[in-house]
Structure 1
Amino acid sequence: MKRITAFAILVALVINDGVAQTKSDVKMNQFISTLMKKMTLEEKLGQLNLPTSGDITTGQASNSEVAKQITEGKVGGLFNIKSVEKIRDVQKIAVEKSRLKIPLIFGMDVIHGYSTVFPIPLGLSCTWDMELIEKSARIAAIEASADGINWTFSPMVDISRDARWGRFAEGSGEDPYIGSQIAKAMVKGYQGSDLSKNNTIMACVKHFALYGAIEAGRDYNTVDMSRIRMYNEYFPPYKAAVDAGAGSVMTSFNEIDGVPASGNKWLMTDVLRRQWGFNGFVVTDFTAINEMIAHGMGDLKTVSALSLRAGVDMDMVGEGFLTTLKQSLKEGKVTQAQIDLACKRILEAKYKLGLFDDPFRYCDVQRSKTEIFTDAHRSAAREIAANSFVLLKNEKNVLPLRKKGTIGLIGPLADAKENMVGTWSVAADYNKPLSVLSALTNAVGNNAKIVYAKGSNLTADTALETRATMFGKTLRRDSRSTEAMLKEALEVANRSDVIVAALGESAEMSGESSSRTDIGIPDVQKDLLKALLKTGKPVVLVLFAGRPMTLKWESENVPAILNVWFGGSEAGSAIADVLFGDVNPSGKLTATFPQNVGQVPLFYNHKNTGRPLAEGKWFEKFRSNYLDVSNDPLFPFGFGLSYTSFSYGDISLSKGTLKPGEAITASIKVTNTGSREGKEVVQLYIRDLVGTVTRPVKELKGFQKISLKAGETKTVTFRITEEDLKFYNSDLNFLAEPGDFKLFIGTNSRDLKEADFKLLSK
């Protein structure tokens, strides 16, 4: 084995402006420096321009309007264009007809899979399985890159605690710790270990920053919060993605401290680059620069200059950089150095993707035929989907179902294959997924009979259903009366042994610009469910959801509830796997479910008030509570049942005090007390009892997903160091303060064993 000496490592580095650079960095810098010396101002500004693909069609790319801009060097990249043939045609224009032959970068919203679609990100997070999440991103990268894409606008790492917000579906829930672990896994999955390989794609972390905390849950709205809250609760997943090496970052639509993110220098330069050391490029969200005009920041020329000075490198769609920065440069509103730096960052990204070596490295026709929607990828999607489902209730072990007798399948989501993939599935073929009806029919074969009725439309409001079934995700609204549909459903129910009710949201009831003030199951569906329960037959609610929903009545009256989110291409088969017990559900919530919308925002890691309600109490005058409902969630963060059961022993600490530089181990025995094998997510929480600033009642600090056979016991051990106890104080210093701590381990954020330890000073 060849010995690598310290000297060998040293000579592989070159010091440039005080920063150690590898030989490859030096080579890249020399290449880009030479190229930029040849570029005109217009060509540099062109690299900062990211239009959509517009009117490009296969074989006719050179006749499109955007082709003219590419030829003139006015385009740095394109997005929302797919297929090797189209992308090759467009790339040929760039490298054959433009003056400097600079290749384009091609982006797409590859959010939770490409042709093979995985569960929506909120569902993915509920697997609590970083290997599976990374695998989903790896498969997405393989498929997207095989179809010509080399840049994805993902992962979306916004923390959200307001279930009214539609884009809750696109993130990983309410907690910064698990959000950070998922952010790292997604970046690694997309980018791999070598970004220049043609089966990797560049990640784009979004939305920077704080987008998930918008007021009233209304999309694109204002965000206002303290710096302490930013650093402790909302920033960690973004930083984790940056630390994992994400190549790009996307700005958010909201304002921060009164300045929209796309023009916020403190955010884009002070935090992102100076504090976190990010060296990739920043792109705006769709027309975000132009939208600063409506925010009240000035005209297009003013906001474009503001954005460049803030540290934004690429303008998505708005063309403010392309059309105004030349004049702003003449007026001294921006500098040549600022333009050059933005251009350099875009060129660096293309270099790292290997596009200067081979502009067509992502245009392998053979790969596009053999590496997309493969049997192996579909099998992985089915496994991951089944692992994402959360069993919320299972009274008297209604589930799993037996493959015998007559099973009534009722509801508007029962035969809705187009909706299985969920929101943000732009590359999916909606004809490929199986509906729940088809999947259950396949699963039972000749052993049981599946009888079906739609039962109701999505909602009584025709206009609302139209808004909630966009982008081809139709539910084929039934023109019959509500009464006629209900009558048919009851006829089916009455001749069934058990009823599976496929109800909830449609795919586009969540996602971008899909905020809701009523986050319960829509009106006519709830009426349908009540009628089905009155038959006296066992009812299983298969809940489709893109957010935490209000299910108080359902939780009190329906025997079994399986939350399946939107599981992707293989959702139907995965639902059948779990309903019939071929897979034991193991998903756990990454977002708190409220009892009603009036509790929102509701999250487990809240602060105490000076007048906290005593544990176990519903109401006490002059305490922090409601008159009409308890403070408790319907389902707490981390909650999820199994077809088996688990018991926890007491926590054993290796010692009661922790010194800086040392570690405490916390161990607990977990036993499968049921009759079948299952998986359990063992969760570790910590509370800092006294601080110089107020601290949350508990914070997730670790988790392990384990598999236990029936009757098996395993000892789960966590290692706690001073690093796990650090937080940002009022001076925004990241530190741990000596004092008393509580440590909790359990099956969710509510049902926990606890122990005490102390952090000593140095």
Structure 2
Amino acid sequence: MRNLITVLLLFLSVVGFAQNRKAYNEIDKKIDKLLSEMTIQEKVGQMTQIAVEILLKKPGSLTEPDELDPEKLAQCIKKYKVGSILNIGITAQTRENWHKWIETIQDMALKERVKIPVLYGIDAIHGNNYTANSVLFPQQIAQAASFNRALVKKAAEITAYETRASFIPWTFSPVLDLGRKPIWSRVYETFGEDPYLVSELGKAMVTGYQGSSSSIDKYHVAACLKHYMGYSMSLTGLDRTPAWIPERELREYFLPSFAAAIAIGAKTVMVNSGEINGVPVHTNKYILTDVLKKELKFKGFALTDWMDIQFLVDRHHVAKDYKEATMMAINAGIDMSMVPVDYTFCDDLVALVNEGKVSMSRIDDAVRRILRVKFDVGLFDNPVGKASDYKEFNGVAHNKTNYEITSECITLLKNTNNLLPLKTDKKILVTGPAANSMVALNGGWSRRWQGTNSDETEKDKNTIYEAIQNVFGSKNVDFAQGAKFNAPSDLNTALSKSEKADVVVLCLGEDSYAETPGNIQDLTLPAAQLELARALKASGKPIVLVLTEGRPRIISAIEPLCSAVIHAYLPGNEGGNVVANVLAGKVNPSGKLPYTYPRYPNYLFNYYRKYTEEVDNSYNPQWEFGYGLSYTTFKYSNLKLSSKVLTEGQPITVSVDITNTGNQMGKESVLLFVSDLVASITPEAKRLRAFEKISLEPGKTQTVTFKITGEQLSFVDATLKRVTEPGEFVVTVGDQKATFNYR
């Protein structure tokens, strides 16, 4: 029977491959036909992406819905033959207005001679955040804390569904940069600091967005990997500033997450806006063509970020004018330019082709890649959607999943004398700038780029204060702001009310921001918030610190003053409800830190530090990557290796028993680290090589099994080859350790 099943599966896989091959051959023929019929203007138009702002009747207007200007749209589509549009205007649109926009755009495009639909893209990064009333999930950094591939995939599936419900087939997500620089303003858009975690959750998110087929149905969208690559590692930590990254480091830490997502069929890539080793990535043919398209065999297209070809002139100063910048970028391997507010790119690129400075073969390659994606997302068959196909938009099931993933993100970092969970009869003062703010829960990219209007757009959702009232009863809960994010406010009221409370829930963190406006000069939490914590401590009441922040702000001055610390990251629309239920014990926290939480502003380490960084106990973070407490306890035991010797082609099986030794059900992320004791490139103290999330009832034991291969232990050596060197390794799971040798 087993042999019969194997034969059947093999037959079905061969048939499926043949069908896909046939479909691809048919699409190739259609693309060839289109290319043979297109003028240079039409081809360059396909390589052009314009922002919808310049197509509106009242650009920058706060009026919703915004309206498209027919004359401006005609210039875009009829004159310049533009093939892609992005963005939202100033604020999130209703689904109805999205439908009207997309239908109007596609109607005009399909009346053109070659009848190629427009590819619309949007930053749907934690839900379809630019459509009114869509589900807003936790930001990526919070999802990373769940260490749960299945939930990350499910959130992406719902995001894809709700994005396609607006007739939009393309999202500029996921971010696969490493969140290695805590001060960087885009840490919250990442899956954290570890290359393996980013790779695994990145694959889950891409699969959720695109589905498992090479073609994308009406409930899925094309993914866009951001920001290829090394974007997050600027020397200053400030957004879009220069990075110096040796190629060995690029390949060891920054390339794997992109390579993993490309290997499973990610359709598009957005390029790093910055420069590496003095060369803007948009002009780096080695990175864009040799590595991305040849080495990784990427079949999709590479897109610039906002105005990045023009910035080669205005910021980087490597080109004398926009025309030269266009030549440099396209010849390096850029396929589509997010121009996005004029048509200089079109004029310049047509001229460059006519002058022989950009070859027709380069143009055809770019257009072929773009058309392929348009076919893959089904635009040629269904350029617009059908509203009735999306009845689950913002429905009960989608919001339930949002609550579930948020529940697994929240990370308990401190719980002195088991202060938490709180009894429901406790008198609680809720205070702090993040206590009564939906802005603080959602952060940037929430209805607007900077996320500044969540208190209005999400007013039907619960802030932390409102949710605590619902759970503990309004008679038991009082509120005082106590401080603003960056300035004193209402401190005396907070102190007065704290005297009547049994416990203070202090909600501190960051106001919303995105990209460069989020640059800061000091990673320490602002002085007004620290002052509030110090003042409240004088009341003698226990303090529960709740952090809502997009990056780990330094709190070492006030952490000793707090009896408990909850890290909520940027948890989205269900964040208030989940935090309240964590306080009440209705949710048992299971999140673990996806980054190292620093103790001092100038002592910034990643957990995969080198051994030299441990000298004189210099490695001393506030909390380490992978740290997180629970209301129950877990015991690790019986770590076993199937062999003490690992050889190529013969993996080792690692098993460990985890027992819930507490009195309630809990979830645990089981993290497997491996340490290479001696290597030709100085090895890290340890690296995450596997993880699994489990759920255990009290008193129950589960055996978790991992496999370790030689490839998993490999590193990039001095010759830029990925190798696994013979020697001794230590595997660590929880408090259990074992050694083995690779031969």
Which whole-Å deviations, capped at 9, do the CAs of 1:412-442 have from their partners, x for residues lacking one? 1111123322222237733343111221112
Indicate conservation of the 8 Å contact 1:393/1:555, yes or no. Answer: no
Indicate yes or no: 2:298 matched with 1:278: yes
Q: Which amino acid in structure 1 is aligned with residue 70 of structure 2?
A: N
Distance 1:665 1:12, change over 3 A: closer
**Residue 587 of structure 1, aligned match among 567, 584, 591:** 591
Once the two structures are TM-superposed, the CA of residue 387 in structure 1 deviates from its matched residue by 1.0
Once the two structures are TM-superposed, the CA of residue 36 in structure 1 deviates from its matched residue by 1.6
Distance 1:209 1:325, change over 3 A: same
Bigger shift: residues 691-700 or 300-309: 691-700
**Residue 523 of structure 2, aligned match among 519, 523, 526:** 519
- Give the aligned partner of residue 571 of structure 1: 575
- Give the aligned partner of residue 477 of structure 1: none
Once the two structures are TM-superposed, the CA of residue 21 in structure 1 deviates from its matched residue by 7.7
Indicate yes or no: 2:726 matched with 1:738: yes
Once the two structures are TM-superposed, the CA of residue 512 in structure 1 deviates from its matched residue by 4.6
Between the two proteins, what is the percent identity of the paired residues?
36
Indicate yes or no: 2:563 matched with 1:559: yes
What pairs up with 1:18-97 in 2 under 5 angstroms?
22-54=21-53, 55-56=55-56, 61=68, 63-81=70-88, 83-96=98-111
Distance 1:7 1:406, change over 3 A: closer
Once the two structures are TM-superposed, the CA of residue 358 in structure 1 deviates from its matched residue by 2.0
Once the two structures are TM-superposed, the CA of residue 706 in structure 1 deviates from its matched residue by 1.5
Indicate conservation of the 8 Å contact 2:424/2:584, yes or no. Answer: yes
- Give the aligned partner of residue 300 of structure 1: 322
**Residue 450 of structure 1, aligned match among 477, 498, 503:** 477
3-state SS, counterpart of residue 553 of structure 1: coil
Q: TM-score, normalised by structure 1?
A: 0.89
- Give the aligned partner of residue 666 of structure 2: 678
Once the two structures are TM-superposed, the CA of residue 10 in structure 1 deviates from its matched residue by 7.4
- Give the aligned partner of residue 402 of structure 2: 381
Once the two structures are TM-superposed, the CA of residue 8 in structure 1 deviates from its matched residue by 9.5
Distance 1:438 1:547, change over 3 A: same
3-state SS, counterpart of residue 486 of structure 2: coil
- Give the aligned partner of residue 220 of structure 2: 200
What pairs up with 1:607-686 in 2 under 5 angstroms?
607-609=610-612, 613=614, 617-618=616-617, 630-686=618-674
**Residue 412 of structure 1, aligned match among 408, 423, 433:** 433
Once the two structures are TM-superposed, the CA of residue 205 in structure 1 deviates from its matched residue by 0.1
Once the two structures are TM-superposed, the CA of residue 511 in structure 1 deviates from its matched residue by 4.5
Indicate conservation of the 8 Å contact 1:289/1:320, yes or no. Answer: no
Q: Which amino acid in structure 2 is aligned with residue 498 of structure 1?
A: V
What pairs up with 1:255-334 in 2 under 5 angstroms?
255-293=275-313, 294-298=315-319, 299-318=321-340, 319-334=343-358
What pairs up with 1:350-389 in 2 under 5 angstroms?
350-360=374-384, 363-367=385-389, 370-389=391-410
Which whole-Å deviations, capped at 9, do the CAs of 1:35-93 have from their partners, x for residues lacking one? 12111110110001101112436695352513321123521111114521221122111
Distance 1:66 1:275 in 2: 39
Which whole-Å deviations, capped at 9, do the CAs of 1:389-424 have from their partners, x for residues lacking one? 111100011111121142111111111123322222
Indicate yes or no: 2:682 matched with 1:694: yes
Distance 1:227 1:488 in 2: 56
Indicate conservation of the 8 Å contact 2:439/2:511, yes or no. Answer: no
3-state SS, counterpart of residue 608 of structure 2: coil
Once the two structures are TM-superposed, the CA of residue 266 in structure 1 deviates from its matched residue by 0.5
Which whole-Å deviations, capped at 9, do the CAs of 1:597-653 have from their partners, x for residues lacking one? 1012x10112233xx655xx54xxxxxxxxxxx431110010011111222225222
Q: Which amino acid in structure 1 is aligned with residue 99 of structure 2?
A: V
- Give the aligned partner of residue 739 of structure 2: 756
Indicate yes or no: 2:467 matched with 1:439: yes
Indicate yes or no: 2:257 matched with 1:229: no
Indicate conservation of the 8 Å contact 1:409/1:451, yes or no. Answer: yes
Indicate yes or no: 2:138 matched with 1:119: yes
- Give the aligned partner of residue 129 of structure 1: 148
Q: Which amino acid in structure 1 is aligned with residue 263 of structure 2?
A: D
Distance 2:364 2:262 in 1: 23
Q: Which amino acid in structure 1 is aligned with residue 46 of structure 2?
A: Q
Q: Which amino acid in structure 1 is aligned with residue 140 of structure 2?
A: P
Distance 2:14 2:637 in 1: 51
Indicate conservation of the 8 Å contact 1:511/1:546, yes or no. Answer: no
Q: Which amino acid in structure 2 is aligned with residue 440 of structure 1?
A: I
3-state SS, counterpart of residue 730 of structure 1: coil
Once the two structures are TM-superposed, the CA of residue 309 in structure 1 deviates from its matched residue by 0.9
Indicate conservation of the 8 Å contact 1:67/1:90, yes or no. Answer: no
Once the two structures are TM-superposed, the CA of residue 384 in structure 1 deviates from its matched residue by 1.0
3-state SS, counterpart of residue 125 of structure 1: helix
Q: Which amino acid in structure 1 is aligned with residue 119 of structure 2?
A: I
- Give the aligned partner of residue 609 of structure 2: 606
Q: Which amino acid in structure 1 is aligned with residue 438 of structure 2?
A: K
Once the two structures are TM-superposed, the CA of residue 675 in structure 1 deviates from its matched residue by 2.0
Indicate conservation of the 8 Å contact 1:540/1:559, yes or no. Answer: yes
Once the two structures are TM-superposed, the CA of residue 210 in structure 1 deviates from its matched residue by 0.3
3-state SS, counterpart of residue 295 of structure 1: coil
Q: Which amino acid in structure 2 is aligned with residue 659 of structure 1?
A: T
Distance 1:101 1:535, change over 3 A: same
Q: Which amino acid in structure 1 is aligned with residue 240 of structure 2?
A: Y
Indicate yes or no: 2:264 matched with 1:252: no
- Give the aligned partner of residue 417 of structure 2: 396
Distance 1:350 1:408 in 2: 54
Once the two structures are TM-superposed, the CA of residue 518 in structure 1 deviates from its matched residue by 1.7
Once superposed, which parts of structure 1, at least 4 consecutive aligned residues long, lie more than 4 Å away?
Answer: 1-14, 57-60
**Residue 494 of structure 1, aligned match among 499, 503, 524:** 499
- Give the aligned partner of residue 508 of structure 2: 503
Distance 1:191 1:123, change over 3 A: same
Once the two structures are TM-superposed, the CA of residue 278 in structure 1 deviates from its matched residue by 0.5
Distance 2:392 2:293 in 1: 37
Distance 1:652 1:720 in 2: 12
Distance 1:168 1:107 in 2: 22
Indicate conservation of the 8 Å contact 1:165/1:217, yes or no. Answer: yes
Q: TM-score, normalised by structure 2?
A: 0.91
3-state SS, counterpart of residue 438 of structure 1: helix
Which whole-Å deviations, capped at 9, do the CAs of 1:290-314 have from their partners, x for residues lacking one? 1111212112111111111111110
Once the two structures are TM-superposed, the CA of residue 444 in structure 1 deviates from its matched residue by 2.5
**Residue 424 of structure 1, aligned match among 445, 461, 464:** 445
Listed as ranges, the gaps of 5+ residues in structure 1 are 15-19, 461-480, 619-629, 747-751
Distance 2:460 2:251 in 1: 43
Bigger shift: residues 197-206 or 313-322: 313-322
Distance 1:9 1:418, change over 3 A: closer
Distance 1:60 1:565, change over 3 A: closer
3-state SS, counterpart of residue 679 of structure 2: coil
Indicate conservation of the 8 Å contact 1:290/1:320, yes or no. Answer: no
Q: Which amino acid in structure 2 is aligned with residue 244 of structure 1?
A: I
3-state SS, counterpart of residue 611 of structure 2: coil
What pairs up with 1:718-733 in 2 under 5 angstroms?
718-733=706-721
Listed as ranges, the gaps of 5+ residues in structure 2 are 58-64, 129-133, 449-453
Indicate conservation of the 8 Å contact 2:428/2:501, yes or no. Answer: yes
Indicate conservation of the 8 Å contact 2:216/2:222, yes or no. Answer: no
Distance 2:310 2:369 in 1: 22
Once the two structures are TM-superposed, the CA of residue 332 in structure 1 deviates from its matched residue by 2.0
Distance 1:534 1:258, change over 3 A: same
Name the Cα RMSD after superposition.
Answer: 2.2
What pairs up with 1:83-232 in 2 under 5 angstroms?
83-96=98-111, 98-114=112-128, 115-194=134-213, 195-232=215-252
Once the two structures are TM-superposed, the CA of residue 454 in structure 1 deviates from its matched residue by 0.8
What pairs up with 1:444-483 in 2 under 5 angstroms?
444-445=472-473, 449-460=476-487, 482=489
- Give the aligned partner of residue 707 of structure 1: 695
3-state SS, counterpart of residue 269 of structure 1: helix
Indicate conservation of the 8 Å contact 2:80/2:346, yes or no. Answer: no
3-state SS, counterpart of residue 736 of structure 2: strand
